[in-house]
C-alpha cells in the first residue's frame, strides 16, 4: 500500500526526470502522472497503433460538431453562460443518495450556496456549491460519470 | 463538561465494539448492534474507530449539550434536530454549548449512533465500555440512559480539535455548522421490500427436512416483536428437522441462525448467549449483520446462500473501503 509520502516522493522523482508519462499499478491502487498535458485515455493511442486512418478521421469529425454546438448555444442566446466546474476529480452524482431527488433540475434557480451535485472521492461525498446566482440551463455530465478537475458540470444563465 | 439527558428515548446505551476475551467465563460480547455505523461515526469525528458511542434505538433521546462539541450521527435516520432544525447525518457537525439535540420520527433503519469528538468518559469493565444490560455491567452504570443522567465527555485530541475550531470559527447565527463532505449510507435497508440477507449454511443445515430447507431459501421471514439486542426472532414457515436431534451445547457466534423446536429461527446478535444447543441452520455473513441490526420488528427478510469464500471476500472489500475512508477523512482534517 502506497502512503501519501511515497506518492509525494514519486511525484518529485518524475518531476525531476525527463519522463512525460508515468503509470504505476500496485494491487487495487493505480497512479498516473503526466506532465504539461491532460492525461489522455488509452483509446486514441490504440487507434494510432491500429493505424486505421478512418478511425482517426472519425474521431476528429465526431468532436467537431460537439464543439460547434457548444459555441452555437452561446452565440444563439447572445448571453454568457457560466460554467460550474469540478473543484476536484471524482464521481459525479446528481442526488445525495440513490433514489433521492436530484439537487437541481434544468430551469431551477440557484444561488451562491446552492448545492448542485456531489463528487465522490475515496468513498467521501463532497458537495459542490454553485458559486453563482442564476438558472441551470444544462447538465453536462451523467450521473455516475467520473469527472476531471476543472471539467464543466453545469451551464448556468447568470442573473 | 458534559451532556445531560432530558429524555432518555426507548433504549439508549453506551456501546463500543464489544467485550472480547471473556466468553469462556460466560460474559457475553455486547457492543454495538451495527458495528459498521459505530465505526463510521467515530471516524467522522476523528476518534479511534472502536471508541464508545451512544446507541439509540427507534425512539431517540433529547440531550442538553453543555459544551461546544463536534459530533457525528450514523445508522438509521431517527430525525435528529437542534432547535427544531434537522441536522445532517453521516458528517461532522459542530454544536454550540447550550443547545438541545432531539430525535424525532424514525425515517429509516432502527438504530442511530452518536459519536462525539474525544469520546464519552466511561470507565471500562473487562476492557470494554459496552453496556451489558441484563447483567447491569459496563457502560453508564450498567444500564440504559435515564432522565437526568449526566454523561461526562473527554476533550478531543488535537487532530479533531482542529476541525472543531475550523467549524466553530465559521459558526454563524444558525444552530449548527457542518462540513461540505459526507459519507454515503449504503447499508441501511430500504423500507417496504423484503431485505436480502446473505448467509452460509450452518453446521446442522443438512439435518433439516427437505421442505424446510427449501422454505428457508425461498420464503420471506418477518422480524417479530420479540426481537432485541440478544437476537431477532423471525416468523414465517416453521422449520423442522428431518428427525429428532440430540445436541450438546456448542459455541454460537455473531449472526448464527439457530432454530428452536417451535421452528421459528433466531438470528443471534450483539447480546447473544455464549453457547447454544439448538440446531444452526445458517450463519449470516458478517457484512450483513449490520443490515440485520437496522431492521425493525415487522421488516421482512429473505435469505440468500453464499459461500464462506464469498463472505470473506465481501468482508475484505468492506474493510478496504473503511481503510480508504479513514485516509480520506484524515486528509480532510489536515
Beta-bridge partner residues of A128: A117
Same domain, yes or no: A94 and A153: yes
Q: How many domains does chain B have?
A: 2
Neighbour-count burial for B14-35, b at 16+ CB within 10 Å, e otherwise: bbbbbbeeebeeebbbbbbbbb
Rounded-to-integer distance, Cα B315 and Cα B334, Å: 29
B70 and B39 together in one domain: yes
The reply to whether B24 and B116 lie within a common domain is yes
**Which residue, of B187, B219, B238, is where some domain finishes?**
B187
B330, three cell numbers: 484524515
A7 contacts chain B (CB < 8 A): no
Residue B144 clears pLDDT 50, i.e. is over it: yes
Angstrom distance (rounded) from CA B163 to CA B93: 10
Alpha-carbon gap, residue B270 to B272, rounded angstroms: 6
| Per-residue pLDDT tens digits for B103-143 | 999 999 999 999 999 999 999 999 999 999 999 999 999 99
Distance from CA of A118 to the nearest CA of B (A): 9
Q: Does A71 touch chain B (CB under 8 A)?
A: no
Same domain, B158 and B258: no
Domain identity same for B155 and B234 = no
Question: Cell 446462500 maps to which residue?
Answer: B305
User: How many domains in chain A?
Assistant: 3
Instruction: Work out the average pLDDT over B308-317.
Output: 97
Strand-pair category, A109-110 with A115-121: unpaired
**Claim to verify: residue B35 and residue B152 sit in the same structural domain:** yes
| Average pLDDT of the residues in B76-94 | 94
Count the Cβ atoms, other than its own, within 10 Å of residue B1: 12
- Percent of chain B having pLDDT more than 70? 99
Q: Same structural domain for residues A46 and A93? A: no
Under 8 Å CB-to-CB from B227, ≥6 apart: which residues? B233, B297
Domain match, B201 and B164 both: no
Is residue A128 helix, strand or coil?
A: strand
Question: pLDDT tens across A38-72, in order?
Answer: 444 444 444 444 444 444 444 444 444 444 444 44
Q: Do B249 and B149 share a structural domain?
A: no
Q: Which residues are CB-neighbours of B308 under 8 A, at least 6 positions away?
A: B200
Specify whether B129 is located in the same domain as B214: no
Q: Provide the pLDDT for residue A66.
A: 46
Q: Identify the domain containing residue B230 by its residue range.
A: 195-315
User: Quick check: B85 contacting A, CB < 8 Å?
Assistant: no
Residues B228 and B173 in one domain: no
CATH number reported for the structural domain that contains residue A132 in this entry? 2.40.50.100
Q: Note down the domain range covering A69.
A: 40-78
**pLDDT tens, B151-170?**
999 988 777 777 777 787 77
Confidence tier at B91 by pLDDT (50, 70, 90) = very high
Residue of A nearest to B180 (CA): A127
Residue A112 has pLDDT above 60, yes or no: yes
pLDDT at position B171 is: 62
Residues A11 and A28 in one domain: yes
Give the DSSP H/E element, type plus range, for residue A68.
Answer: helix A53-77
Is the Cβ of B174 closer than 8 Å to some Cβ of chain A? no
Amino acid at each position: 500500500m502506497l502512503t501519501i509520502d511515497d506518492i509525494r516522493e514519486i511525484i518529485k522523482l518524475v518531476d525531476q526526470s525527463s519522463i512525460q508519462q508515468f503509470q504505476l499499478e500496485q494491487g487495487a491502487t493505480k497512479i498516473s502522472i503526466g506532465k504539461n498535458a491532460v492525461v489522455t485515455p488509452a483509446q486514441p493511442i490504440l487507434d494510432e497503433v491500429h493505424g486505421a486512418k478512418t478511425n482517426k478521421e472519425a474521431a476528429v469529425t465526431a468532436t467537431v460538431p460537439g464543439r460547434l454546438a457548444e459555441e452555437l448555444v452561446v452565440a444563439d442566446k447572445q448571453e454568457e453562460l457560466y460554467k460550474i466546474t469540478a473543484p476536484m476529480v471524482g464521481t459525479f452524482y446528481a442526488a445525495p443518495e440513490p433514489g433521492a431527488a436530484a439537487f437541481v433540475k434544468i430551469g431551477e434557480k440557484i444561488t451562491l450556496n446552492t448545492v448542485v451535485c456531489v463528487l465522490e472521492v475515496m468513498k467521501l461525498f463532497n458537495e459542490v456549491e454553485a458559486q453563482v446566482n442564476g438558472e441551470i440551463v444544462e447538465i453536462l455530465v451523467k450521473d455516475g460519470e467520473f469527472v476531471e478537475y476543472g471539467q464543466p458540470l453545469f451551464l448556468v444563465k447568470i442573473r | 463538561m458534559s451532556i445531560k439527558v432530558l429524555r432518555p428515548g426507548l433504549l439508549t446505551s453506551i456501546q463500543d465494539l464489544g467485550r472480547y476475551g471473556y466468553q469462556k467465563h460466560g460474559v457475553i460480547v455486547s457492543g454495538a448492534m451495527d458495528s459498521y455505523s459505530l465505526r463510521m461515526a467515530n471516524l467522522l469525528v476523528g476518534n479511534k474507530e472502536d471508541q464508545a458511542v451512544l446507541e439509540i434505538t427507534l425512539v431517540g433521546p433529547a440531550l442538553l449539550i453543555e459544551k461546544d462539541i463536534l459530533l457525528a450521527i450514523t445508522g438509521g435516520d431517527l430525525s435528529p434536530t437542534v432547535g427544531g432544525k434537522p441536522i445532517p447525518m453521516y458528517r461532522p457537525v459542530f454544536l454550540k454549548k447550550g443547545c438541545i439535540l432531539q430525535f424525532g420520527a424514525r425515517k429509516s433503519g432502527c438504530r442511530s449512533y452518536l459519536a462525539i469528538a474525544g469520546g464519552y468518559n466511561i470507565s471500562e469493565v473487562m476492557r470494554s465500555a459496552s453496556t451489558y444490560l441484563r447483567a447491569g455491567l459496563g457502560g453508564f452504570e450498567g444500564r440504559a440512559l435515564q432522565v437526568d443522567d449526566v454523561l461526562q465527555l473527554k476533550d478531543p485530541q488535537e487532530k479533531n480539535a482542529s476541525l472543531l475550531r475550523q467549524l466553530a470559527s465559521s459558526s454563524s447565527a444558525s444552530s449548527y455548522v457542518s462540513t461540505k463532505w459526507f459519507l454515503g449510507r449504503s447499508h441501511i435497508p430500504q423500507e417496504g421490500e423484503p431485505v436480502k440477507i446473505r448467509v452460509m449454511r450452518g453446521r446442522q443445515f443438512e439435518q433439516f427436512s427437505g421442505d424446510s430447507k427449501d422454505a428457508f431459501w425461498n420464503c420471506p421471514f418477518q422480524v417479530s416483536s420479540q426481537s432485541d439486542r440478544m437476537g431477532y426472532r423471525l416468523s414465517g414457515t416453521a422449520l423442522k428437522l428431518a428427525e429428532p436431534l440430540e445436541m450438546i451445547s456448542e459455541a454460537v457466534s455473531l449472526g448464527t441462525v439457530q432454530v428452536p423446536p417451535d421452528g421459528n429461527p433466531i438470528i443471534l446478535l450483539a447480546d447473544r448467549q455464549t453457547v447454544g444447543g439448538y440446531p444452526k441452520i445458517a450463519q449470516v455473513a458478517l457484512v450483513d449483520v449490520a443490515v440485520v441490526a437496522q431492521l425493525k420488528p415487522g421488516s421482512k427478510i429473505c435469505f440468500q446462500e453464499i459461500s464462506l469464500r464469498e463472505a470473506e471476500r465481501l468482508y475484505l472489500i468492506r474493510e478496504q473501503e473503511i481503510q480508504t475512508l479513514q485516509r480520506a477523512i484524515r486528509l480532510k482534517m489536515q
